[in-house]
Structure 1
Amino acid sequence: MTTTKSAQFDQKAATSTPSHKEAPPSEIIVAKHANLVQEDPYRPTPQSVSTVRRLKEAAKCMLPDSLFLSMLHHKRIGRYPNLLRPATFNEKILQRNLRPDPRYISLTDKLSVREYIAAKIGEKHLIPLISAPEVFTREVFDALPGSFVMKANHGSTFVEIVRDKSETSFEKLQLLAGQWLSTEFYYVARERHYRTIKPRIFFEQLLLDQSGQIPADYKLHCFGGRPGRPIIYILVISDRFGKATHGDVYDVDWNHLDVAIGYYKRSAKPAPRPKNLASVLDIAATLCEDFDYVRVDLYAPDNQVFFGELTFTPGAGVLPFTPDSIDYEWGKLLG
């Protein structure tokens, strides 16, 4: 893929999406995304960098979206993407970054998507919402229960788990909330549908299983757009907020596949087949009815199923697969 073609694609894509907001000073952008966005092995996240590196990253912020993404794809995947004739899964996701379906905005927003989910599968599958204040004040903090999860609606990895409220403080959470709200997530990986999501802080019930543990995160990659049931692959992330995090890929029959997605390490042996696997798959199939592809995130503790989020551009289109051939296989499924 040449620079000229990439720039041409970006010019074409820009005509079908709203114009960018005026970017803040590039060094501020780099500082925010180097220090405020938490690390997630599933997607690229800038790390703390030297002054020289910061200047280089600042220069990248001035690049057109398609050129920026081409460089990021080369860095993460090891080759430049073909944005004009995409063949791989990642290349097709990059196209979504640049030319998102307008529906992605409200369905990516972690607050507004709740109405859609309630209508599709019922409110019982929503994690109970404690509060979604316009402003996070001490009064809001004082009214929170003894345990909860604080999140932001406009990006990935904005999650703070509070098991015991007495061990944190309003000041600590207020600072963290301010950092999240001031981060424009679009600049991390140029996923354009994030630009118009109004940042909000909200609080959910802390979801625990009967053993008091945070349940595994089920990320179901759902390929629809064809008659019959969608093709589904399940990435199960266990102990996500602990020290023994693993990511394992299963098919719908719970066969443990020799595949790795992102930077998660595969477990030596598979987890037990969930008793409610059929319910998990049925809910995922229902939520992907309107799309040719969507990643449906669910939690399935103790024979229940709770909704996490819908993701239309997983890994921002720079998601490594092991083996690399999966990138091409999934590209065919995406149509």
Structure 2
Amino acid sequence: MTTIKSAPFDGDAPASAPRHKEATLSEDRVPAEASRVAIDPYQLPQRSVPTIKRIKEAAKTLLPDSLFLSLLHHKCIGRYPNLVRPVTFNEKILQRNLRPDPRYIELTDKLRVREYIAAKIGAEHLIPLVATPEVFTREVFDALPNAFVMKANHGSSFVEVVRDKSDTSFEKLKRRAEQWLAIDFYDIARERHYCTIKPRIFFEHLLLDARGQIPADFKVHCFGGQAGPPILYILVISDRFGSATHGDVYDANWNHLDIAIGFYKRSAKPAPRPANLESVLDAAAALSEDFDYVRVDLYAPDNHVYFGELTFTPGAGVLPFTPDRIDYEWGKLLT
């Protein structure tokens, strides 16, 4: 078993400059109508946006990336970032937005990353694919099973869960797919490694646990994997597509930490320690060993461990922490 370190909380090649497009940066990173995700860990609360504010937000897209990100960081975190000598976790993530490691492109693509995952921890940890069509046609829809998940490979929160195909239609999913494919995810928060990912729709097996429920999302923040056993913190998103969504942070020993990440509320009491927690941590450690930091998303229904995605710029560098000091403490872990 991989040895995992847990730290207590106390007090690269430049990417080519991407093009700018006239896109509105709304209160959410992805327009609400483009995603079925009930609550995203890193989304701001949704509210209607007046026309004047939309115009102002659209004008911001003409700004250079560094200035755009500074304003966005101030809006979301409440202070301007230091991009020259970053200290906080968010500031260091902003640097990754601007100067991403070239490896991020392939490993952020939710289809291309599958080969890497199979080589690192085995193909049995991949959620089975149902279809990866070049074009989503009625014939593709008709061939889909009764239950599935539709996703897009080029961004965050592009997820449509279908439990019963009779409750949806080809026309509805086609519109959703077209909305997703029209989004240049770089425009949302200037994460440059998204620029060259070719948008693609794909379909996965609907992953359910023994109770018939969608399993919790284990977002494992992995620090220092290149230097030895990583320091791991686990954000567990429960009932993500339901009405009782919570986000709870645990250390590698399953201690429930008094921390909130993004806009999820903590549960009143910790969840029971998963029986396969060690398998989850082992998979996260193996997938983080090539990086000084990466967030590894996993699912752990019953006695299985399935891969979700690798995220190198979580929250795009504008991720609120409660308490705010965690932004600084995690910044110390990210070298």
The answer on 1:283 being equivalent to 2:280 is: no
1:97 positional shift: 0.4
1:75 positional shift: 1.0
The answer on 1:60 being equivalent to 2:60 is: yes
Q: 2:22 — aligned with what? A: 25
Q: 1:324 — aligned with what? A: 324
Offset from partner CA, 1:185-221 (integer Å, 9 cap, x none): 1111111100100000000000000000000000000
Q: 1:334 — aligned with what? A: 334
Q: 1:84 — aligned with what? A: 84
Q: 1:42 — aligned with what? A: 41
Q: 2:311 — aligned with what? A: 311
**Residues 43 and 262, structure 2, Cα contact 8 Å, conserved in 1:** no
1:17 positional shift: 1.7
**Residues 44 and 318, structure 1, Cα contact 8 Å, conserved in 2:** no
> What is the alpha-carbon distance in structure 1 between the residues aligned to residue 227 and residue 264 of structure 2?
33
Pairing of 1:110-121 with structure 2 (within 5 A): 110-121=110-121
**Residues 36 and 183, structure 1, Cα contact 8 Å, conserved in 2:** no
Offset from partner CA, 1:100-154 (integer Å, 9 cap, x none): 0000000000000000000000000000001100000000000000000000000
**Residues 125 and 307, structure 2, Cα contact 8 Å, conserved in 1:** yes
Amino acid at match of 2:17: S
Q: 2:220 — aligned with what? A: 220
| Structure 1 outlier segments of 4+, above 2 Å | 23-27, 29-48, 225-228
Greater helix share, structure number: 1
The answer on 1:131 being equivalent to 2:131 is: yes
Change (3 A) 1:55 1:227: closer
Q: Say which SS state the counterpart of residue 213 (structure 1) adopts.
A: coil
> What is the alpha-carbon distance in structure 1 between the residues aligned to residue 284 and residue 290 of structure 2?
11
Q: Say which SS state the counterpart of residue 233 (structure 1) adopts.
A: strand
Change (3 A) 1:324 1:214: same
TM-score, structure 1 normalization: 0.91
**Residues 14 and 98, structure 2, Cα contact 8 Å, conserved in 1:** no
**Residues 34 and 47, structure 1, Cα contact 8 Å, conserved in 2:** no
Change (3 A) 1:263 1:272: same
Runs of 5+ unmatched residues, structure 1: 1-12
Q: 2:232 — aligned with what? A: 232
**Residues 104 and 193, structure 1, Cα contact 8 Å, conserved in 2:** yes
TM-score, structure 2 normalization: 0.91
Offset from partner CA, 1:297-318 (integer Å, 9 cap, x none): 0000011000000000000000
Change (3 A) 1:37 1:189: farther
Change (3 A) 1:147 1:235: same
1:43 positional shift: 2.4
RMSD: 1.9
1:42 positional shift: 2.3
Amino acid at match of 1:17: A
Offset from partner CA, 1:140-172 (integer Å, 9 cap, x none): 000000000000000000000000001110000
Pairing of 1:193-272 with structure 2 (within 5 A): 193-225=193-225, 227-272=227-272
> What is the alpha-carbon distance in structure 2 between the residues aligned to residue 140 and residue 83 of structure 1?
46
Amino acid at match of 1:199: P
1:30 positional shift: 6.4
> What is the alpha-carbon distance in structure 1 between the residues aligned to residue 48 and residue 232 of structure 2?
36
Q: Say which SS state the counterpart of residue 295 (structure 1) adopts.
A: strand
Q: Percent identity, please.
A: 73
Offset from partner CA, 1:2-44 (integer Å, 9 cap, x none): xxxxxxxxxxx9x9322323x34346x7699545444744224
> What is the alpha-carbon distance in structure 1 between the residues aligned to residue 305 and residue 239 of structure 2?
18
> What is the alpha-carbon distance in structure 2 between the residues aligned to residue 16 and residue 165 of structure 1?
44
Q: Say which SS state the counterpart of residue 302 (structure 1) adopts.
A: coil
Q: Say which SS state the counterpart of residue 301 (structure 1) adopts.
A: coil
> What is the alpha-carbon distance in structure 2 between the residues aligned to residue 318 and residue 125 of structure 1?
30
**Residues 15 and 193, structure 2, Cα contact 8 Å, conserved in 1:** no
**Residues 42 and 319, structure 1, Cα contact 8 Å, conserved in 2:** no
Amino acid at match of 2:313: T
Which shows bigger deviation, 58-67 or 288-297? 58-67
> What is the alpha-carbon distance in structure 2 between the residues aligned to residue 296 and residue 325 of structure 1?
23
**Residues 105 and 197, structure 1, Cα contact 8 Å, conserved in 2:** yes
> What is the alpha-carbon distance in structure 1 between the residues aligned to residue 226 and residue 170 of structure 2?
49
Q: Say which SS state the counterpart of residue 178 (structure 1) adopts.
A: helix
Amino acid at match of 1:86: P
